[in-house]
Chains A and B, each alone.
Chain A
Amino acid sequence: MDMKRDYYEDIQLFESGVVLFWTIVLLGFLLTFPLYAPSYYIFLFNLIMVHVIMAVGLNILMGFTGQISLGHAGFFAIGAYASALLMAKLHLPFFLALPLAGFIAAFFGFILGLPALRLEGPYLAIASLGFGLTIMHIIGRWDVFGGRMGIHAPPLDIGIPQLGFKWVLETDVSKYYLILLITIFMVVSARNLMKTRVGRSFIAIRDSDIAAEVIGINLTFYKTLSFMVSAFYTGIAGGLFGFVLGFFDPFTFTLILSIIFLVMVVVGGLGSIMGSICGAALITYLQYNLLKNVAEKPIIGDLLVSISKKWFTVIGLENFNSIILGLIMVGIIIFEPLGIFGIWIRLKKYWKAWPF
């Protein structure tokens, strides 16, 4: 929307002084947040940041490369199990285990990317969906992974145990700062990646893969690369997710989780990094806070309980969040297919053109 006059204007990290200012305000808020927030909200923010990393990764695949994945819960699970097991069984230091978990997920992304080269549309959707279910099933069957009982994440030790240097993060606040740093790093790298040759190739493939091939983009390479990058991001997010939750089992990573991931990206806005952040924050807040125990919320809770008593069942009220999620999914496509990002663009246009 804003005119770019030269190449350097396009690749710079902050588009203008205003963006820089608000970024600093946001960072300042995030850095001081634990000082005045209740402890539950810190846990929630940890979850949000994990989901932000995941949503950015999924957006690279769906929003920037135009592929569809309904199996990202699988990569998420791979990341969570890989980082937890590498640390617990092999005693690797955290800063080695986490990238390794990401690379393992990326390897599986490569495997999923291979059939994806020939598939498109609904066929790709079913293949990725099957992938996610298969991963969950394998993990549930194998005893190394704790089977159906699930496993506990090891203590989050960010030192190097081999050198006798221990630094265990126990509280949510300390985890918060660690995850915040990683999240900022991942988001900024994703943004920069999209300004490079690789990112622009992704976008060209999204807009038209045949045209992209004609101008000399290697489809095989870039499509699998997109899957790998996306899986890497999701693997990292999964690795952190394990430590945030502390305990997880195969049933954490169901098809519903893949759908929730999809919703985060779509609600945030396809092809927008900032949108993914907003989408992940909004959906995580709805899923893990606002609609979690909806019966105990003021005003609306009593109303819903009385509705439940009259026409529905009170036990079933905990499924209320999936009704809201479904309505959001339908509504976002009908009213604003570009999600929060689209709303933002519309507001900006309105503001700029006012009073016309």
Chain B
Amino acid sequence: MLGQLIIEGLAIGACYGLFGIAVVIIYKTSEVVNFGQGEMAMFSTYITYHLLTAYNVPFWLAYILTMIFAALLGMLIELLFLRPAKNPNLLGLIVITLGAEMLLMGLASWKWGAEQKEFSLPFTVLKTHEPIKGLIINDWSIAVFVTAAVLMILLFIFFKYTKLGIAMRATQQNQHAAKIMGVRVERVFSFSWGFSSFIGATAAMFFAGRATLDPAFMMDPFMRAFAASVLGGLMSIPGVVIGGELLGLIENLFGYLWPEWKPIVAFIVIVLVLCIRPSGLFVKHYVKKV
């Protein structure tokens, strides 16, 4: 029983981590906390849904088309909403991204209505395996684990060895210095938004496959994923995955004992952790200069 709870918690935690990676990539390069992340992913998932139901496109083709759309959507939001703002402060950035969230949510509910819809993935929670006696694992969890692991390895290589990854890290450390060294900072931002939107959309499809699809379905997962990335310090990609796993585990075990308080346990954990380590678990806390 305990093993089962742990597996389930790890699976949902990996999904939080996956979505948290999307939050972290944007924060890592541009120091923007993207509150619109959830709705960007939600909109992309609806595009898949639309392709699947209205045009009967096979799933994998729909997936590829959606990913192209998601990347373009991320770039477009960066281009239209964030770039024109002149040196916005943190509150300004929060308001802009929340505005993008409201806009996308309004558009999605205008287009598809507010009712819940079925969204079927090739990997369902219904198809289960039993590798060890008494330990059941479903297709959905396996797919999430594999995706998260592959993505983490790829991202590690990407940030360590490729030119673009190094440019992204340079931009994060000092935007102006990066510009002087010949990095086109705007292009880096644009890329990181597109990339993050793409990862977010993938994670959102996992969430939609587990539950149902409606315009507000990404709000809860987004907040959990955001909490997970805060737990990991908003900067490190291994940190956010570990944060997501921790959150998923705690939530699942706690939810088993007191089911009615399950939705809020994540926030209590977050506040407690932040009180002890104000910048998250895996990031050094820098003292600010005046």
Interface residues of chain A, those whose CB is within 8 Å of chain B, are 62, 68, 70, 114-115, 118-123, 125-127, 129-131, 133-134, 137-138, 141, 208, 210-211, 255, 259, 262-263, 266, 270, 308, 311-313, 315-317, 319-330, 332-334, 337
The reply to whether the CB of B94 lies closer than 8 angstroms to some CB of chain A is: yes
B155 CB to closest chain A CB (Å) equals: 21
CB-contact partner of B268 in A114, A134, A259, under 8 A: A134
| Residues of chain B from 100 to 127 with CB closer than 8 A to chain A in the complex | 100-107, 109-114
Cβ B111 vs Cβ A326 within 8 A: no
Give chain A residues whose Cβ lies under 8 Å from the Cβ of B270: 126-127, 130
| Residues of chain B from 251 to 290 with CB closer than 8 A to chain A in the complex | 260-261, 263-264, 266-268, 270-271, 274-275, 278-280, 288, 290
Cβ B92 vs Cβ A337 within 8 A: yes
B83 CB to closest chain A CB (Å) equals: 9
Cα A119 to Cα B264 in complex, Å, equals 20
Cα A27 to Cα B217 in complex, Å, equals 45
Give chain A residues whose Cβ lies under 8 Å from the Cβ of B107: 323
B36 CB to closest chain A CB (Å) equals: 9
B190 CB to closest chain A CB (Å) equals: 17
Cβ B113 vs Cβ A208 within 8 A: no
Cβ B264 vs Cβ A133 within 8 A: yes
Cβ B290 vs Cβ A211 within 8 A: yes
Cα A119 to Cα B278 in complex, Å, equals 6
- Please name the residue on chain A nearest to B23 by beta carbon: A122
- Please name the residue on chain A nearest to B105 by beta carbon: A322
Cβ B91 vs Cβ A312 within 8 A: no
- Please name the residue on chain A nearest to B94 by beta carbon: A125
Give chain A residues whose Cβ lies under 8 Å from the Cβ of B109: 316, 319, 322
Do A129 and B223 contact each other (CB < 8 Å), given the known contacts A259-B102, A333-B85, A337-B92? yes
Do A68 and B91 contact each other (CB < 8 Å), given the known contacts A127-B270, A322-B103? yes
- Please name the residue on chain B nearest to A260 by beta carbon: B102
Cβ B274 vs Cβ A329 within 8 A: no
Give chain A residues whose Cβ lies under 8 Å from the Cβ of B112: 313, 316
Do A312 and B110 contact each other (CB < 8 Å), given the known contacts A126-B226, A126-B230, A210-B290? yes
Cβ B275 vs Cβ A326 within 8 A: no
Give chain A residues whose Cβ lies under 8 Å from the Cβ of B261: 137, 141
Binary interface encoding of chain B residues 213-255 relative to chain A, with 1 for a CB under 8 A from any of its CBs, else 0: 0010001000100110010001000000000000000000000
| Residues of chain B from 39 to 87 with CB closer than 8 A to chain A in the complex | 81, 84-86
- Please name the residue on chain B nearest to A122 by beta carbon: B33
Do A118 and B95 contact each other (CB < 8 Å), given the known contacts A323-B103, A334-B81? no
Give chain B residues whose Cβ lies under 8 Å from the Cβ of A208: 290
Nearest 7 interchain pairs by C-beta: A329-B99, A130-B267, A326-B103, A326-B102, A323-B106, A322-B106, A319-B109
The reply to whether the CB of B208 lies closer than 8 angstroms to some CB of chain A is: no
Cβ A134 vs Cβ B267 within 8 A: yes
Cα A140 to Cα B189 in complex, Å, equals 41
Cβ B267 vs Cβ A133 within 8 A: yes
Give chain A residues whose Cβ lies under 8 Å from the Cβ of B226: 126
Cα A119 to Cα B230 in complex, Å, equals 11
- Cβ contacts A to B, 19 pairs, < 8 Å: A114-B275, A122-B94, A122-B234, A123-B280, A126-B227, A133-B223, A141-B260, A141-B261, A312-B111, A316-B112, A319-B215, A323-B106, A326-B99, A326-B106, A327-B103, A329-B95, A333-B92, A334-B96, A337-B88
Cα A119 to Cα B272 in complex, Å, equals 12
| Residues of chain B from 159 to 200 with CB closer than 8 A to chain A in the complex | none
Do A127 and B274 contact each other (CB < 8 Å), given the known contacts A210-B288, A323-B106, A326-B99? yes
The reply to whether the CB of B98 lies closer than 8 angstroms to some CB of chain A is: yes
Cβ A320 vs Cβ B110 within 8 A: yes
- Please name the residue on chain B nearest to A120 by beta carbon: B278
Give chain A residues whose Cβ lies under 8 Å from the Cβ of B275: 114-115, 118
Cα A211 to Cα B266 in complex, Å, equals 35
Cβ B114 vs Cβ A316 within 8 A: yes
Give chain B residues whose Cβ lies under 8 Å from the Cβ of A131: 267, 271
The reply to whether the CB of B90 lies closer than 8 angstroms to some CB of chain A is: yes
Cα A316 to Cα B117 in complex, Å, equals 14
Most chain B CB inside 10 Å of its own CB: which residue of A123, A141, A324, A328: A123
Cα A329 to Cα B101 in complex, Å, equals 10
Cβ B227 vs Cβ A313 within 8 A: no
Cβ A317 vs Cβ B99 within 8 A: no
A126 CB to closest chain B CB (Å) equals: 5
Cα A270 to Cα B268 in complex, Å, equals 30
Besides A311-B111, A327-B103, A337-B92, 16 other A-B contacts (C-beta < 8 A)? A114-B275, A122-B94, A122-B230, A122-B234, A127-B267, A130-B271, A131-B271, A133-B263, A141-B260, A262-B98, A266-B91, A315-B113, A324-B106, A329-B95, A329-B96, A332-B95
Most chain A CB inside 10 Å of its own CB: which residue of B107, B109, B219, B266: B109
Cβ B98 vs Cβ A123 within 8 A: no
Give chain B residues whose Cβ lies under 8 Å from the Cβ of A320: 106, 110
Cβ A255 vs Cβ B91 within 8 A: no
Give chain A residues whose Cβ lies under 8 Å from the Cβ of B234: 122
Cα A133 to Cα B234 in complex, Å, equals 21
Cα A134 to Cα B267 in complex, Å, equals 8
Give chain A residues whose Cβ lies under 8 Å from the Cβ of B96: 329-330, 333-334
B240 CB to closest chain A CB (Å) equals: 13
Give chain B residues whose Cβ lies under 8 Å from the Cβ of A210: 288, 290
B82 CB to closest chain A CB (Å) equals: 9
Give chain B residues whose Cβ lies under 8 Å from the Cβ of A313: 110-113
Do A137 and B94 contact each other (CB < 8 Å), given the known contacts A308-B110, A322-B102? no
CB-contact partner of B102 in A129, A137, A141, A325, under 8 A: A325
Cβ B290 vs Cβ A323 within 8 A: no
Cα A313 to Cα B46 in complex, Å, equals 14
Cα A64 to Cα B86 in complex, Å, equals 22
